Amino acid sequence: MSEEIEQKIIECLKDHDWLNLGTVDKDGKPMVHTVAYASDGAVVYFSTAKTTRKVTNIENNPFVAYTVDDDKVNVMEITGVQMEGKASIVTDEEETGKVFDIMLEKFPFVKDIPAEVEHVLFKVEPVKAYYLDYTKGFAHRDMVSY
């Protein structure tokens, strides 16, 4: 069943554009950020301005959590992903180029983002995921560890 759930997670990530990213500041206060992302399997990538709270929070604590779901469905039809992961800045030029291509395919507007704004490219590698599928029963979710 784990492979089936992993594939559902990959498809869910591929089929959505936005995630809700949870980070924690140096004082332990949580913050949730809405982020456009692209995925490669169960790994997600996002870019953000270097001056954002996300960057500061992740630099202090790379462990993050996020959700991806549909919010305009009957409660008994909810599907989605709850993910725990570890974020890191992508510095490898080859990986950066690959991610830029993935982002550009998903979000053509990426090419129009002003170059004068300094950005940081993050990768979130999965640690533990839950696939929500309320069609199997209220609050049903299956867990996958990576």
Alpha-helical regions (H) of the chain: 2-15, 53-60, 93-106
pLDDT digits (tens, 9 = 90+) for 62-82: 999 999 998 777 889 999 999
pLDDT digits (tens, 9 = 90+) for 36-56: 999 999 999 999 999 999 999
Minimal CA–CA distance to 19: which of 60, 70, 87, 86?
A: 70
Minimal CA–CA distance to 70: which of 17, 106, 21?
A: 17
Full-model pTM: 0.92
123-137 mean pLDDT: 96
80 contacts 67 by C-beta, under 8 angstroms: yes
Distance CA 64, CA 22 (A): 6
pLDDT digits (tens, 9 = 90+) for 85-96: 999 999 999 999
Q: Mean of the per-residue pLDDT values for the chain?
A: 93
Class of the domain covering 2-145: mainly beta
